[in-house]
Structure 1
Amino acid sequence: MADKTVDGGPWTGCAVMFLQSLCPAVNLLALYKDQQEGKFIVFKVIKLTLIDSAGGLAGYEILKVHDADPFLGVEVKFVEVAACQQFLESYSSGAVLQSLSQHASRLLSLSQELRVETQLKASTHTLDLCLDDPQLCLQHIHFSQPERLRDEEIDHLEQQLQSQARRPAPQLTTNTQEESPLPSNCFKFQNRVFEDRMLTAADVQSFSNGVGRQWKTVGRALGRNCRALKGPAIDNLAYEYEREGLYEQAYQLLSRFMQAEGRAAKLSCLVKALEDCKLTGLAENLLDIQPQE
C-alpha cells in the first residue's frame, strides 16, 4: 500500500489505543486527569512508546487523549502508511506493551515494570481480533478517518515536552574555577548531564529501529571495549541474521553486547558509540531529546 490513495491524495487513517494499568497502585486515567505532573508524565510515556513503535517522530500525530473509563483512550492519526505498518507490527509482537511498561516504570519511578492492558480499535472494528491480517488492519485504519483536529491540550503537552528537552541540564559547580567531576552514575552528551543506567529492552528496540545499515559501524565502536564483539563476531552476526534483515541484525548485536557485559552494559556506552559514529540523532532519541522545530 503506497503513501497515496487511488485518487492521488495522501494516505491517512486513524486508530484509538486504549490503555489500562493492571497494577492496583497505578491508575493511568486518574494520573492523566492530574493537571499537574501526572498528565505530562502519562503523555510522555505515550509519546515515547509511539516513537519506539512507529519508528521515530514522523508519520503520525496524537490527536486526543480522552477518558474511556476504565481505559485511557489515545487517538492517533497516521499520515504515512509505513509508520502505520510499523506500529501494527510492534503492537502485534507485544513490543508496544513492552515499551509502555518500561517507560511508565521509569518515569513513574516504580520498583518493577508496570503491567498494562491494551485494546486497539479503528472506528467500530476491534483490531486485536484481526492482527494476523495486517492488510485488513491497515484497511480498517485507513477507512477510519479522523473526525477532529489535534486537541489544544495535546498542543500544550507537545510544547511542554519540547521545552523540557531544550532546558539545559543543571551545571555542576564548585567554589573553584575548575569543573566538578561527574558523579559515577552520570555522563555527558552535548554538554548536558544525564543519569546513567543499564540498557533496557526499549533501548534495544529504539536502536534497532533507527540504526539501519550503520549497525556494523556501531558494533565495532562497542567492540573496542567488549571482547564478545571483537574479531569476526560482527561479520558472523551479519551472516547469521542476513535473511531476517537489518532490524534483527541490529537487535542481535545489542543483545549480544548486553549479555556479554551484564551490568556494565550502560546507556553511556551506547551513546558514546553512537557519538563516535556521528549518529547523534539516534543518541538524542535514546535520551528522549526532542528535536527543536
Structure 2
Amino acid sequence: MADKTVDGGPWTGCAVMFLQSLSPGVDLLSLYKNQQGKFVVFKVIKLTLTDSAGGLGGYEILKVHDAEPFLGVEVKFVDVAACQQFLENYSSGAVSQSFSQHASRLLALPQELTVETQLKASTHVLDFCLDKLEVCLHHIQLSKPERLRDEEIDHLERQLQSQVVGPAPQPPTGTQEELPVPDNFFKFQNRVFEDRMLTAADVQSFSNGVGRQWKHVGRALGKSCRALKGPAIDNLAYEYEREGLYEQAYQLISRFIQAEGRAAKLSRLVRACEDSKLTSLAEHILDIHP
C-alpha cells in the first residue's frame, strides 16, 4: 500500500473519534472540562492511540473538543500503515477495550469502563464501512486537517512528557533534605505515585505478567494480610492448579482485595513485587515505560 499521495507528497489524513462512557457515574466530557481530570483523560486517549496505531510516530492529536454527549478527538495520521493498523484495531473492538482498560486503571474505577465509540472522516461515518478498509483509508486521506495542533494539546503533551521523563536528578548536598511523600502517595524508583485501590486492570496486568512467581508475591503480601498467611498460598495453588498460572495469580489478588477491602492498595502490591525481585512487573503495573 502506497505511503505517498498521487502527487508524491507524504500520506496524511484526518479522522475524529467520538467517545462516550456508558458506565454510571463516569462522564468523560465533564472529566475533561475539569482541570485535574483533563490530563488523566488525555493520557488515556494517548495510551489508547499509541496501542492501536503501533507506536507514537504514526499519528498526532490535533484537538479534543466538546461534541455532547461525546468527547471528540481529532487525529491526524501521518503514516498509512499506522492508520490501517488503527482501523483494524478499531474494527475488532481493540480500541474500545484498550481505552476501557487504561481509563479503569488511571481513573481508579471499581470496575472496567464501558465506552461507546464512533469514527468519522469529514461527514462520513466510518463505522458503516469498516469491512472495506480501502474505503475508510480513502475517506481519511481526503479529510485533510483544517488546523494546527491546539495550544491546549501542546500543553498536555508537554505535561505528559515531563511525567514520563521525570524531573532532572538533583546533585546530593549535605544540606538538602528530601521532601516528604504526601499522604495517599508512595515512592517507587524515586518517583511519587498515587496510592489508590487496586483496579481490574491492575489485577489483569499482574496476572498476565507474574507467571510462576505468583506464590512469592503472595507470601510477601501475606506478611501484612492474614488471609494469605499459613497454608493459604499452597491451598490456592492446589485449588486452581488445573486452571493455570493466570487463574492462580488472579485468585491470589482477588482474595487479597476481598480480605483487605479499601486497604488493598497499589503500594502494597508494588512493594510485594519488589520484595519478590519482580521490579519489571511493578514497572508494568505502574505503566512505567523504559
- Smaller-chain TM-score bracket: 0.5 to 0.7
Q: Deviations over 1:50-74 (max 9, x none)?
A: 1111111110000000011111100
Aligned pair in 2 of structure 1 residues 105, 95: CA closer, same or farther (>3 Å)?
Answer: same
Partner residue, 1:18: 18
Matched position secondary structure for 1:165: helix
- Structure 2 residue 101 is matched with structure 1 residue 102: yes
Counterparts of 1:2-17 in structure 2, within 5 Å, are 2-17=2-17
Alpha-carbon offset, residue 262 of structure 1:
3.7
Please state how far the C-alpha of 1:147 moved relative to its aligned partner: 0.5
CA separation of 1:69 and 1:125: change in aligned 2, threshold 3 A = same
2:150: which partner in 1?
A: 151
What does residue range 180-259 of structure 1 map to in structure 2 within 5 Å? 197-200=202-205, 258-259=246-247
Q: Aligned in 2, Cα 1:133/1:286: closer, same or farther, shift over 3 Å?
A: farther
Q: TM-score, normalised by structure 1?
A: 0.64
Aligned twin of 2:163: 164
Tell me the secondary structure at the aligned position of residue 43 of structure 1: helix
Q: Which structure would you say has the larger Rg?
A: 2
Letter in 1 for 2:246: M
1:287 is displaced (CA, Å) by: 4.9
Determine if contact 1:198/1:263 at 8 Å carries over to the other structure. Answer: no
Q: Does 1:44 align with 2:43?
A: yes
Farther off after superposition, 260-269 or 125-134: 260-269
Residue ranges of structure 2 left out of the alignment (5+ in a row): 169-185, 215-243, 254-268
CA shift for structure 1 position 290: 6.4
The answer for unaligned runs of 5 or more in structure 1 is 170-185, 205-218, 227-255, 277-282
Deviation at 1:199, TM superposition (A): 3.3
Quick one: structure 1 residues 16 and 193, their matched pair in 2 at CA, closer, same or farther if it must change by over 3 Å?
same
Q: Is the 8 A contact 1:97 1:118 kept in 2?
A: yes
For 1:134, the equivalent position in structure 2 comes to 133
- 1:159 & 1:92 partners in 2: Cα distance? 31
Distance 1:25 1:163, change over 3 A: same
Which whole-Å deviations, capped at 9, do the CAs of 1:130-185 have from their partners, x for residues lacking one?
Answer: 0111111111111111010000000000001111122369xxxxxxxxxxxxxxxx
Q: State the Cα RMSD in Å.
A: 3.4
Distance 2:56 2:251 in 1: 30
In 2, Cα distance between the equivalents of 1:45 and 1:75?
A: 15
Alpha-carbon shift at residue 258 of structure 1 (Å): 2.9
Distance in 2 of aligned mates of 1:106 and 1:33? 20
Deviation at 1:289, TM superposition (A): 4.2
* Matches of 1:23 and 1:262, distance apart in 2: 24
8 A contact 1:161–1:290 mirrored in 2: no
Q: TM-score, normalised by structure 2?
A: 0.65
Amino acid corresponding to residue 60 of structure 2 in structure 1: E
Distance 1:69 1:225 in 2: 47
Match of 1:83 in 2: 82
- The residue type equivalent to 2:89 in the other structure is S
CA positional deviation for 1:97? 0.7
Aligned partner of 1:32 in structure 2 is 32
For residues 62 and 50 of structure 1, the distance between their equivalents in structure 2, rounded to whole angstroms, comes to: 9
Given that residues 90 and 96 in structure 2 are in contact (C-alpha distance below 8 angstroms), is that contact kept between their aligned partners in structure 1? yes
Q: How many residues align?
A: 220
Q: Secondary structure at the match of 2:149?
A: coil
CA shift digits 1:198-251 (9 cap, x unpaired): 3349x97xxxxxxxxxxxxxx9xx87759xxxxxxxxxxxxxxxxxxxxxxxxx
Partner of 1:179: none
- Provide the secondary structure at the position in 2 that maps to 1:158: helix
**Is 2:68 the partner of 1:69?**
yes
Question: Is 1:113 matched up with 2:126?
Answer: no
